[in-house]
Amino acid sequence: MKVGTKSVLFGVHQFIWHPITVTVAWIVLYKRAPSIKEIFCILIHDLGYFGKENMDGKLGEKHPEFAAKVAGFIFGDDYRNLCLLHSRHYSRILGKEPSKLCWADKLSIRFDPRWFYLLRASASGELEEYKHNAEKAGFINRESSNIEWFEDAKAKMVLLSEKKRGDAVRYLNDVN
C-alpha cells in the first residue's frame, strides 16, 4: 500500500480525524465556524494523497488537484482555489497567496495529541519522510528523536499559521 493511501486511511491525513483538527484550527484562526461549503473543502482537501507514492515529492505535491476539481465542479472557482491553494506549493507556482484552508491545515497539528500524531505518522510511513525532509532542510539533525521532531514541527507550523499571510510573500519568492 502506498504511503499516501496509508496517510488518508490511518496516517497524518486520516479522513475522519484530520478534518476535525483542521475545523478546530479554522475556528481558532478565523473566530467563526466554517460554512457548509468550507466544511466540504476541509473534508476533501487531502484525499488526493490516496494512491500517491510520497507526501512531499513530485507526486505528493499534486494531491490538492483532486479536491480542487471536485470543489470547483460543485461550488465554483472560489472553492476550487480554497482547496488548490491550501498547498503552498501551488500558491507559489500560481503566484497567489495560500488560501485560508492552508493556515487552518498548518495549525491543525496544535490540536493533535503528540502520541496520536506520532502513532499515525509511524504506522503510515510518513514520519521517516517528514524527518528526512526536515534534516535535509537543516531543521533537525540525525540524532533528533521523534518527539523532538514533532515539537519542532508543531512550533514551526503554529507560528506560520498564526502569522497567516506574513510568510506568504517570502514563500512565493522562494524558489526551493
45-64 pLDDT, tens digit each: 999 999 999 998 888 899 99
pLDDT at 142: 67
If one counts the domains in the chain, the total is 1
The boundaries of the domain holding residue 38 are 3-173
CB–CB of 84/75 below 8 Å? no
Query: pLDDT grade, residue 175 (50/70/90)?
Result: very low
pLDDT for 99 beyond 90: yes
> Cell 496509508 identifies what position?
6
CB–CB of 77/128 below 8 Å? no
- The arithmetic mean of pLDDT across residues 5-24, rounded, is 97
DSSP letter assigned to residue 32: S
Query: pLDDT grade, residue 164 (50/70/90)?
Result: low
Closest by CA to 52, choosing from 112, 102, 124, is: 124
Which of helix, strand or coil describes residue 20? helix
pLDDT at 172: 36
Distance CA 27, CA 35 (A): 11
pLDDT for 165 beyond 60: no
Query: pLDDT grade, residue 82 (50/70/90)?
Result: very high
pLDDT at 80: 98
pLDDT at 170: 42
Mean pLDDT of all residues belonging to the chain: 89
Distance CA 100, CA 119 (A): 28
pLDDT for 15 beyond 80: yes
